[in-house]
Structure 1
Amino acid sequence: MKFINRCVVTLKPRQPFIDWAKGLGTELPQDWSLEGGSYLLDEQETEEGLEASLANHARDMMENELSALEEDRGRWPELRDLRALKSLFDVHVSVAGFDLGTDSLMRADLSDLEVI
Structure 2
Amino acid sequence: MKFINRCVVTLKPGQPFIDWAKGLGTDLPEDWSLEGGSYLLDEQETEEGLKAVLTNNARAMMENELSAWEEDPGRWPEQRDIEALNRWFDVYVSVAGFDLGRESLMRADLSDLEVM
Q: Which residue of 2 aligns with 1:87?
A: 87
Q: Which whole-Å CA distance do the structure 2 matches of 1:49 and 1:29 have between them?
A: 35
Give the number of equivalent residue pairs. 116
TM-score normalised over the length of structure 2? 0.98
TM-score (norm 1): 0.98
The CA deviation string for residues 15-38 of structure 1, in whole angstroms up to 9 with x for no partner, is 111001001111111110000000
Is it true that 1:9 corresponds to 2:9 in the alignment? yes
**Quick one: which amino acid aligns to residue 53 of structure 2?**
S
Secondary structure in 1 matching 2:92: strand
* 2:49 alignment counterpart: 49
Query: For residue 40 of structure 2, what is the amino acid of its counterpart?
Result: L
Aligned residue for 1:104, secondary structure, equals coil
* Distance in structure 2 (CA, Å) of the matches to 1:28 and 1:6: 31
Instruction: Name the counterpart of 1:26.
Output: 26
Q: For 1:31 and 1:68, locate their aligned partners in 2 and report how far apart those are by CA, in whole Å.
A: 16
4+ aligned runs moved over 2 Å, structure 1: none
- Structure 1 residue runs of 5 or longer lacking an equivalent are none
Larger CA deviation: 22-31 vs 101-110:
22-31
Per-residue deviation, 1:76: 0.2
- RMSD between aligned alpha carbons? 0.5
Amino acid at match of 1:35: E
State the alpha-carbon separation in 2 of the partners of residues 77 and 110 from structure 1: 22
Aligned to 1:112: 112
In 1: Cα distance, 2:89 partner to 2:108 partner: 25
